[in-house]
Structure 1
Amino acid sequence: MSKVAFVFPGQGSQFVGMGRSLAEQSAAARDVFERADEALGFSLSSLCFEGPEEELRLTVNTQPAILTTSVAVLAALREKRADVTPDYVAGHSLGEYSALVAAGAMAFADAVKVVRARGQFMEEAVPAGQGAMAAVLGMERQALQDVCEAVTASGHPVQPANMNGPGQIVISGTAEGVRLAGEQAKAAGAKRVLPLNVSGPFHSSLMQPAAEKLKAVLTDVDVKDARVPVVANVSARPETAAGAIVDNLVKQVAAPVLWEDSVRWMADQGVTTFVEIGPGKVLAGLIKKIAPAGTTIVSVQDMESLHELLNGGVLC
């Protein structure tokens, strides 16, 4: 029997206006935005709906904004089809928190406060300008790993951070480490190296201070066993036990996101339909390059795309 996975986007999928039409048309979605405003003590909903973009782009705002929009889309879906339960959930980096809310492992009000703190800790971990990230296109994973290890050995830490798909790997580390690794990757045959407009070296060992702070915050959060298996970024394997979920969230901040591995694992388990829930279509684009031919991939971020999903016979 074919299986369904709900997947949730991470940082980089945000845009001004996200969730606005949904909140106007769905009471359940509107309630999620109102609960976020109440939990955080400021109008996150206004930031999502109206901007300004430079404020929304700040990691400390982006993380709760994407989480809230994703959970609002999920709430609107469940408002229409309360019986729909995926076989697996997964999220890219920050998106793992949306997946945990979807799986009943973390209350939304807790999750939105945790990711706000997570964003702050990640901003503080490395002084501005000292860290960097870049997307390396057209290079095998092991070859890029070798380049990063050689540059790190020369005193400039850099490592693969996001295994996004075949020939698309993001590296992260010191600004000099990323620059040197990018140059050496191109010399070794990479097609392109694209610097990313991010505020820090996320998912690298330089984020360890943020991981330690996050661990302290999570000790006060009531994390439950997941009702649906959550395919973890750090292992690309399913997890339902509360203790292991917390451990994975702490590790995840300073460890690579194994997205390609996660999608392949779900496909191997019989997942034939991936539903991306949240702003943008980043994950759908990545999954198309990973999943087998014939896989159904749908992105839902507003009422129009939600109606297409519900009327298209994808969710039986």
Structure 2
Amino acid sequence: MKKTAILFPGQGSQYIGMGQALIEADQEAAALMEMAEEVSGFPLKKLCLEGPIEDLTRVLHLQPALTAINLICWQQLKKALPDFVPAYAGGHSLGEYSALQAAGVLSAEDTMTLVTKRGEFMEREGTANPGGMLAVLGLTIEEIDNLLKSYTGAGVVVVANHNAEQQIIISGDQKGLDGFSEMCRENGAKKIVALKVSVANHSPLVAGAVEDFSACMAKIPFHTP
């Protein structure tokens, strides 16, 4: 018997106009967006539909904005396929919170509360410790790890995500990203692409958000899936 999984995207997948067709065509989708705006305190609909992309991409805005669109997509999928029950729900980084809501672990309101605070704390840390993320294509995780062990250049750089056999995401400050990406090119990387994010996610540069966010999570009820 086949089992189906649903996977929610994370930061970097945003674009101007995302969710527009659903929000404009369906009252329940519009109501969910209104709830997300009320919880977050941000004009998420305007950011998603009109931008500008620089404002949408700010981690402070992007985490609640993208999560709202994820929840709307899940809402609409359930309406279209009322008997559909996935065997698994997962998410790519930020998308994990949408997966928890889809699995019944979090309410939609609590999901929006968490991602709003997560964005707030990560923006604070990103402002204090600027950085970004790069996708390295053409090298394996073993090759990247070995290069990192021998990297003696300036800055901070770490592996953030292992997306595929030869697609590794690195995160760090600008000096670290510049120096290590050049090392990757010299050692066979086929392509290096900057991600559409505003902070160095999954790196020590945003680790200061953990304590405050953990305190927020402790106040939220998590239910059995």
Normalised by the size of structure 1, how large is the TM-score? 0.66
Give the 5 Å matches for 1:46-125.
Answer: 46-125=46-125
How far has the Cα of 1:150 moved from its partner? Answer: 2.6
Deviation of the 1:33 alpha carbon: 0.9
Contact 2:57 2:198 in 1 (8 A): no
Identity of aligned residues (%): 38
State the alpha-carbon separation in 2 of the partners of residues 136 and 19 from structure 1: 29
Partner residue in 2 for 1:160:
159
Structure 2 residue identity aligned to 1:134:
L
Deviation at 1:42, TM superposition (A): 4.1
Q: Which residue of 2 aligns with 1:209?
A: 208
- How many residue pairs get aligned? The number is 225
Equivalent residue of 1:177, what SS? helix
SS in structure 2 opposite 1:75?
helix
Aligned partners of 1:81, 1:22: CA distance in 2, in Å?
15
Give structure 2 stretches of 5+ with no counterpart.
none
Give the CA deviation at 1:196.
3.2
CA shift for structure 1 position 37: 2.0
Alignment correspondent of 2:175: 176
CA–CA separation in structure 2 for the residues paired with 1:123 and 1:134:
18
* Alignment TM-score, normalising by the size of structure 2: 0.91
Structure 1: distance between partners of 2:78 and 2:126: 40
Q: Structure 1 residues 190 and 3 mapped into 2: Cα distance closer, same or farther (>3 Å)?
A: same
CA distance in 1, matches of 2:121, 2:48: 21
* Over 3 Å off, 4+ runs: 126-130, 153-156
User: C-alpha displacement at 1:93, in angstroms?
Assistant: 0.7
C-alpha distance 194-18 of structure 1, shift in aligned 2 (>3 A) = closer
C-alpha contact 1:129 1:175 (8 A) present in aligned 2 = no
> What are structure 1's unaligned runs of at least 5 residues?
228-316
Say if 2:133 and 2:197, in contact at 8 Å, map to a contact too. yes
Deviations 1:62-109 (A, max 9, x none): 111111111111111212322211011111111111101100111111
Q: Residues 112-135 of structure 1: CA distance to partner in whole angstroms, max 9, x if unpaired?
A: 121121112112214467423211
2:32 matches 1:38 = no
**Contact 2:33-2:68 within 8 A present in 1 as well:** yes
Equivalence for 1:230 = none
Matched, 1:18 2:14: no
CA distance 1:171–1:42, change in 2 (3 Å): closer
Deviation at 1:137, TM superposition (A): 0.8
Counterpart secondary structure, 2:171: strand
Q: Aligned with 1:6: secondary structure?
A: strand
